[in-house]
Each structure stands twice: as structure tokens, then as C-alpha cells.
């Protein structure tokens, strides 16, 4: 078992000991490392000024660079990985990387505060094997804010970098050496790190995770740290005993089997995007609107459900899809329908030492209709005021045989609305059904007023989303699956 955090930066293995595991990557970079190119704007994952790129690499030479927010990533999440910051791009000869050159040529920087973050998001985009579409560029940059240049020159830089320097770069050439360095140092060994009396444990298998949690059932679980990181940076909390789920391979797999999509709890939203959209095409846009890409690259499905946020997007989504959770403690699994998981505000059915292991979602059939929308103040990278997710199963005559109506932002917990579901079952997909559902939604839900929306607005929007779903289902627009 390794007892030091080890990762590669600029071709060199870094070994960290004696640093509080609550330290963020950004604190380490700008503090002991005196590497101040990476900026701090918000310290809560919203602005992208702190964006760095992190790659996981295997012996076969496959590397996937991902943009992440250094401000809320604990330093130990880098263990076994390859880190690149804006300084890494220049290399030893100080020549600009094609991404930086493109930013210069398109005049894409004024005050420059956001620039290192944009550069690193574009760097990750440049290494993304997916097709380089305009949509992919917008999605890659939605988590970066610029207050003075304006986005047009930055988007032009994205185009320029592809035109002027396509093909592999210095980082591609370094993959075998970095993979060998990581394999020879940390390999796939478990990490048991201890500093300042605080612990970070990163098991690599479910069996090892069972062992760790049996010994320390009150340890704090951490996956993508996009919720937990904010506890550290905004509430100044320090966690004494952290167990990291992101290194457990069995929790990171997606299986599409007969009739169900089976997602590991540590699958990130970025990795879940394609399988979810393949099964339910309307989810392509829905998932793209979950935070910015830097967050989706690390935030997990399990963390999103387990945090039981009343305004999260994953819980209403999986409630409408009738998901079942596989929970795990001491190596024993139990299945629990997601609708029985939320017990009250931020309270769940998880027992001490128990984790969400998998999320199992029935796949749609030809009679399934499904739609999901989030309504927020901003289109990109914002938290929902209301999230509405709707599924109906139609009978042979086109009437609603079964309905699932789920919301976030409408109560202290994400929830389904059985009264509204009962009010629409057995009915045609018509205006009367749309109104019956909207009336039931308005009569049973009592949302709160807060900075995101008033209670009245939320009630009106919830009804309107259901009406929109009925109209979409009736016309077959973007809602037919199977
Ligand atoms: C800038 C920003 C934007 C965001 N935008 C959105 C958004 O659009 N929609 C949305 O829904 N959320 C959003 N979030 C919230 C957050 O990203 C999600 O809730 C995310 O999915 C949490 O996953 P994580 O892996 O990062 O969880 P972590 O922070 O690692 O953990 C969250 C909690 O869950 C527990 N936990 C984690 N995994 C498990 C498990 N497998 N079993 C049991 N307990 C577990 C942890 O102990 C912790 O209490 C945003 C957050 C930020 C910072
Ligand atoms: S500093 Fe704003 S996202 Fe990290
Ligand atoms: S260049 Fe000033 S914030 Fe973007």
C-alpha cells in the first residue's frame, strides 16, 4: 500500500507527504509549489479560472485529458494521475503551445485573469477524441467565465487551434514515458495517506473498500468532491478521515444489459452522458446542462444522489426513470427503489458504513415516452430552480397506462408526485390530461421562495413543464424511445 500521494507534473514524479489531505490542488499549486498561473476566482467550481487538466493513463498508451477545477479538488485525487497546468504548456523552450498561440492570434485575452482557465479547457478539448463540433466547443467552455474579452475571440481561438496545429503534440509523445513512470511508482496500489492526523484512504477494489469501511464506518466518503470540496473552501471544514471512491474500478463501470442500464456509483456525469443519451436522446441536452464540463468530469452519479440535495438534477431524473439503488455494506448488497431513499431534508436511508454501489435503470420500450428539463436563471452551468422529469408508458390505444412525474426544487426532497400520476393514468395524451396533471401538481406541492425562484413561479413552471411533456409525447417530438 502506498503512503504518499504521487502524480506526474511536467514529466517528473511528484511525491507528497505531510500535507493535510483537505488541501486543494489550487492551494498546493499557488502555495508550496509557487505556481501562480492557475488563478482563483470563486473557489467554488463556478468560474473556471482555476482549470487544470488531469489525465489517467494506462500502460497501453491511452490517455484522456480532462479539464477540472483545481479549487475544489483535494490534492490526493491526483494520485496515480498526470497533471498539467498552464505553465506545463510552454515546455522547457518557453515556446507557446498551439492553444496559447491561437489565443494570442485571435486577441482572446484582455485582463488575462480567466485566460489560463480557458487555455486549459481548450487544451483538454484539443485532446478529446470525440468529433470537434461547434457544439462540443461550446460545451467545453461553458464552465469558464470571462468578464472583459467577450466570448467571440475565444471561440475563434478554438477554431484556429484546430486549423493551424491539428494532430498530436508534445503531450501525446510523452504518454509512454509518463505511463511507465506512474506504473513503476504508484501502479494500481491502494493509497493509505496520513498527515497532520488526517487520513485519506483510496482503495482500488470493492473488497478493499469493504475492509476499510468495516474498520471505519464513520469515515467520510468522497467521490468527485464537487459537493465536499465546497465544504472545505466555503465552510472551512476539515475532514479527519476520508475514503475515496474514485479509484475503485468496479464502481466506475457502465453496463447495458437486457432491459436495464446499470451504472456504477462512481461513474462521472461526463462518462454517463453518452450511455444515458443513447437510451433517452432527450438526455443529451439535459446532461450537458448539468454544471460545466470541469464539474461533470469528476462529479459522480452516486455523489449526486447520496447528497440528497432537493435541487439536484440526477435524483428527479432517476426517480422518473424508476431506478433502483444497489446499496452495499460489509460486502452485502441490498436493493432499494430510489423513491424510498430520501427520508427528509438531506436525510437518506443509508446506514453508517453503507454506500450507494450502483444505480440500475430500466431501459425504455417502444411504448415509453420520456422528457426532462431543468429551468434555471442561466442556460449554462447553473443550478435548477425547478427540474421536471416525466415518463409515461402507453397502452395499445395510446392512453397512459403508467406515469412517473418527478421534480427537484419543489420540496425539501426530490420527489415523485403520486397524486398527479394517478390523475393522468388511463387518459389520452390531450389538453385535458395536461390540465388534470398540472392541477394536481399545483394542489399538492408547496415549494419555497428563495433566491433562485419564488414559490408561485416554481408551481407555475412545474405545471407548465408537465403540459409541455404531454404536448411533446402527443406529437412524438424528441420523446419516443425504444
Ligand atoms: C459549480 C457547481 C455546479 C453544480 N451544478 C450542478 C447541477 O447542475 N446539477 C446538480 O444536480 N448538481 C450540481 N452540482 C452539485 C454536484 O456537482 C453534484 O451533486 C455531484 O454529482 C456530486 O458528486 P460528487 O462525486 O462530486 O460528490 P462528493 O462531493 O464527492 O460527495 C457528495 C456527498 O455524497 C457522499 N457520497 C459520494 N459518493 C457516495 C456513494 N457512492 N455512496 C454514498 N455516499 C456517497 C459524500 O460522502 C458526500 O456527502 C454542482 C456543483 C458545483 C460545485
Ligand atoms: S476558482 Fe472559480 S472555478 Fe475554481
Ligand atoms: S480576459 Fe479579463 S476576465 Fe477574461
Rounded to an integer, what distance in angstroms lies between the CA atom of residue 13 and that of residue 180?
11
Atom of ligand 2 nearest to the CA of 42: 2
Mean pLDDT check: name the lowest of 34-38, 87-91, 149-153, 345-349.
87-91
In the reported structure, the alpha carbon of residue 118 is separated from the centroid of ligand 3 by a whole-number distance in angstroms of: 10
CA 50 / ligand 2 centre spacing (Å): 5
Residue 478 has pLDDT above 90, yes or no: no
45 lines ligand 1 (CB under 6 A): yes
Residue range 276-318, pLDDT digits in tens? 999 999 999 999 999 999 999 999 999 999 999 999 999 999 9
| CB within 8 Å of 112: residues ≥ 6 apart | none
Residue 184 banded pLDDT, cuts 50, 70, 90: very high
Judge if the beta carbon of residue 225 lies within 6 A of ligand 1. Answer: yes
CB 245 within 8 A of CB 305: no
Q: Which atom of ligand 2 is nearest to the CA of 50?
A: 4
Tell me the fold of 191-250.
3.30.43
pLDDT at 177 over 60: yes
CA of 220 to the centre of ligand 3 (A): 37
Which atom of ligand 2 approaches the CA of 47 most closely? 2
Q: For residue 334, how far is its CA from the centre of ligand 1 (angstroms)?
A: 22
Residue of the nearest CA to atom 4 in ligand 3? 146
Q: What atom of ligand 2 comes closest to residue 70's alpha carbon?
A: 4
Band (pLDDT 50/70/90 cuts) for residue 59 is low
Q: Is the CB of 140 within 6 Å of ligand 3? A: no
Q: Are strands 198-202 and 241-244 parallel, antiparallel or unpaired?
A: parallel
Q: How far apart are CA 281 and CA 321, in angstroms?
A: 14
pLDDT in tens, 99-144: 999 999 999 999 999 999 999 999 999 999 888 899 999 999 999 9
Q: Is the pLDDT of residue 80 over 90?
A: yes
Max CA distance (Å), the chain: 71
Find out whether the beta carbon of 119 lies less than 6 Å from any atom of ligand 3: no
406 lines ligand 1 (CB under 6 A): no
**Domain 253-475 sits in which CATH superfamily?**
CO dehydrogenase flavoprotein, C-terminal domain (3.30.390.50)
**For residue 431, what pLDDT is reported?**
97
Q: How far is the CA of 123 from the centre of ligand 2 (A)?
A: 17
Closest CA to 420 of 442, 392, 399: 442
Domain ranges of the chain: 1-187, 191-250, 253-475
Rounded mean pLDDT, 5-16: 96
Q: Which ligand is nearest to the CA of 70?
A: 2
Q: What is the 3-state secondary structure (H, E, C) of the chain?
A: CECCEEEEECCEEEEECCCCCCCEHHHHHHCCCCCCCCCCCCCCCCCCCCEEEEEEECCCCCEEEEEEEHHHCEHHHHCCCEEECHHHHHCCCCCCCHHHHHHHHCCCCCCCCCHHHHHHHHHHHHCCCCCCCHHHHHHHHCCCCCCCCCHHHHHHHHHHHHHHCCCCCHHHHHHHHHHHHHHHHCCCCCEEEEECCEEEEECCCHHHHHHHHHHCCCCEEECCCCCHHHHHHCCCCCCCEEEECCCCHHHHCEEEECCEEEEECCCEHHHHHHHHHHHCCCHHHHHHCCCCHHHHCCCEHHHHHHCCCCCCCHHHHHHHCCCEEEEEECCEEEEEEHHHCEEECCEECCCCCCEEEEEEEECCCCCEEEEEEEECCCCCCCCCCEEEEEEEEECCCCCEEEEEEEEECCCCCCEECHHHHHHHCCCCCCHHHHHHHHHHHHHHCCCCCCCCCCHHHHHHHHHHHHHHHHHHHHHCCCCECC
| pLDDT (0 to 100) of residue 477 | 64
Q: Residue range 225-241: average pLDDT? A: 96
CA atoms within 13 A on the CB side of 345: 4
Q: 287: Cβ below 6 Å to ligand 1?
A: no
Contacts 24+ apart (CB under 8 A), 88-93: 88/9, 88/10, 89/119, 89/123, 91/170
Between 425 and 58, whose confidence is greater? 425
pLDDT tens digits, one per residue of 367-421: 999 999 999 999 998 999 999 999 999 999 999 999 999 999 999 999 999 999 9
Banded pLDDT at 193 (limits 50, 70, 90): very high
β-sheet bridge partners, residue 336? 325
Does the beta carbon of 50 sit less than 6 angstroms from any atom of ligand 1? Answer: no
**Cβ 409 under 6 angstroms from ligand 1:** no
Q: Are 113 and 49 in contact (CB under 8 A)?
A: yes
Q: Which of 114, 118, 152, 155 to mutate to test the pocket of ligand 3 (most atoms within 8 A of CB)?
A: 114
User: How confident is the model over 222-245, as a mean pLDDT?
Assistant: 97
Q: Is the CB of 149 under 6 A from ligand 3?
A: yes
What digits encode the pLDDT tens for the residues 320-343?
A: 999 999 999 999 999 999 999 999
Å from CA of 29 to ligand 3 middle = 21
**Cα angle: 220, vertex 199, 292; to 5 degrees:** 55
Task: Give the closest residue to 100 by CA, choosing from 114, 129, 120.
Answer: 120
Ligand 3 near 141 CB (within 6 A): no
Report the distance separating Cα 109 and Cα 148, nearest Å: 8
Q: Is the dihedral of CA 309, 311, 314, 317 positive or negative?
A: positive
- Determine the distance separating the centroid of ligand 1 and the alpha carbon of 244, expressed in angstroms: 13
Average pLDDT score over the chain: 94
For the beta carbon of residue 62, count every other beta carbon within 10 angstroms: 12
Ligand 3 atom closest to Cα of 110? 1
**Ligand 2 surroundings by CB, under 6 angstroms:** 40-43, 45-50, 69, 71
Predicted local distance difference test score (pLDDT) of residue 131: 85
The average pLDDT across 71-77 equals: 98
CA of 398 to the centre of ligand 2 (A): 49
**Confidence class for position 480, pLDDT limits 50, 70, 90:** very low
Instruction: Look at the domain 1-187 and name its fold.
Output: Ubiquitin-like (UB roll) (3.10.20)
Looking at residue 448, what is its pLDDT? 85
**48 has a pLDDT exceeding 90:** yes
pLDDT at 481: 46
User: pTM for the whole thing?
Assistant: 0.97
Measured from the alpha carbon of residue 50, the closest ligand is: 2
> Which segment of 163-172, 193-202, 233-242 scores lowest on mean pLDDT?
163-172
Grid cell listed for 151: 466570448
Amino acid at each position: 500500500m502506498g503512503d504518499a500521494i504521487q502524480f506526474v507534473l511536467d514529466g517528473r514524479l511528484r511525491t507528497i507527504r505531510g500535507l493535510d489531505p483537505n488541501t486543494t490542488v489550487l492551494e498546493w499549486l499557488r502555495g508550496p509549489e509557487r505556481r501562480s498561473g492557475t488563478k482563483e476566482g470563486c473557489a467554488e467550481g463556478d468560474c473556471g479560472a482555476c482549470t487544470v487538466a488531469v489525465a489517467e493513463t494506462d500502460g497501453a498508451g491511452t490517455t484522456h485529458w480532462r479539464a477540472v477545477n483545481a479549487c475544489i479538488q483535494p490534492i490526493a485525487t491526483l494520485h496515480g494521475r498526470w497533471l498539467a497546468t498552464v505553465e506545463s504548456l510552454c515546455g522547457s523552450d518557453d515556446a507557446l503551445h498551439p492553444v496559447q498561440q491561437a489565443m494570442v492570434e485571435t486577441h482572446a485575452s484582455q485582463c488575462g485573469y480567466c485566460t489560463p482557465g480557458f487555455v486549459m479547457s481548450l487544451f483538454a478539448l484539443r485532446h478529446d477524441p470525440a468529433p470537434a463540433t461547434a457544439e462540443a466547443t461550446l460545451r467545453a467552455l461553458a464552465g469558464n467565465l470571462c468578464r472583459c474579452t467577450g466570448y467571440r475571440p475565444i471561440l475563434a481561438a478554438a477554431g484556429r487551434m484546430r486549423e493551424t496545429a491539428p494532430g498530436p503534440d508534445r503531450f501525446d509523445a510523452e504518454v509512454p514515458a509518463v505511463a511507465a513512470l506512474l506504473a513503476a511508482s504508484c501502479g494500481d496500489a491502494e493509497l493509505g495517506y496520513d498527515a497532520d492526523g488526517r487520513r485519506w484512504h483510496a482503495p482500488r477494489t470493492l473488497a478493499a473498500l469493504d475492509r476499510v469501511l468495516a474498520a471505519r464506518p464513520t469515515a467520510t466518503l468522497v467521490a468527485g468532491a464537487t459537493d465536499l470540496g465546497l465544504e472545505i473552501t466555503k465552510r472551512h471544514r476539515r475532514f479527519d478521515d476520508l475514503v475515496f471512491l474514485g479509484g475503485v474500478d468496479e464502481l466506475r463501470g457502465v453496463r447495458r444489459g437486457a432491459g436495464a442500464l446499470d451504472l456504477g456509483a462512481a461513474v462521472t456525469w461526463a462518462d454517463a452522458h453518452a450511455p444515458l443519451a443513447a437510451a433517452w436522446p432527450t438526455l443529451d441536452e439535459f446532461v450537458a446542462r448539468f454544471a460545466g464540463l470541469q464539474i461533470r468530469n469528476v462529479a459522480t452519479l452516486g455523489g449526486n444522489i447520496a447528497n440528497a440535495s432537493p435541487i439536484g438534477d440526477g435524483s428527479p431524473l432517476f426517480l422518473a426513470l424508476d431506478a433502483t439503488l444497489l446499496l452495499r455494506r460489509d460486502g452485502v448488497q441490498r436493493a432499494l427503489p430510489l423513491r424510498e431513499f430520501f427520508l427528509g431534508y438531506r436525510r437518506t436511508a443509508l446506514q453508517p458504513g453503507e454506500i450507494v454501489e450502483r444505480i440500475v435503470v430500466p431501459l425504455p420500450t417502444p411504448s415509453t415516452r420520456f422528457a426532462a428539463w431543468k429551468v434555471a436563471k442561466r442556460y449554462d452551468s447553473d443550478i435548477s430552480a425547478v427540474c421536471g422529469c416525466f415518463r409515461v408508458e402507453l397502452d395499445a390505444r395510446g392512453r397512459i397506462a403508467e406515469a412517473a412525474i418527478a421534480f427537484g426544487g419543489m420540496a425539501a426532497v426530490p420527489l415523485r408526485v403520486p397524486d398527479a400520476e394517478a390523475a393522468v393514468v388511463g387518459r389520452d395524451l390531450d389538453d385535458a390530461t395536461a390540465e388534470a396533471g398540472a392541477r394536481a401538481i399545483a394542489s399538492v406541492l408547496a415549494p419555497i421562495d428563495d433566491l433562485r425562484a419564488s414559490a408561485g413561479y416554481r408551481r407555475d413552471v412545474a405545471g407548465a413543464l408537465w403540459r409541455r411533456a404531454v404536448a411533446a409525447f402527443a406529437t412524438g417530438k424528441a420523446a419516443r424511445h425504444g
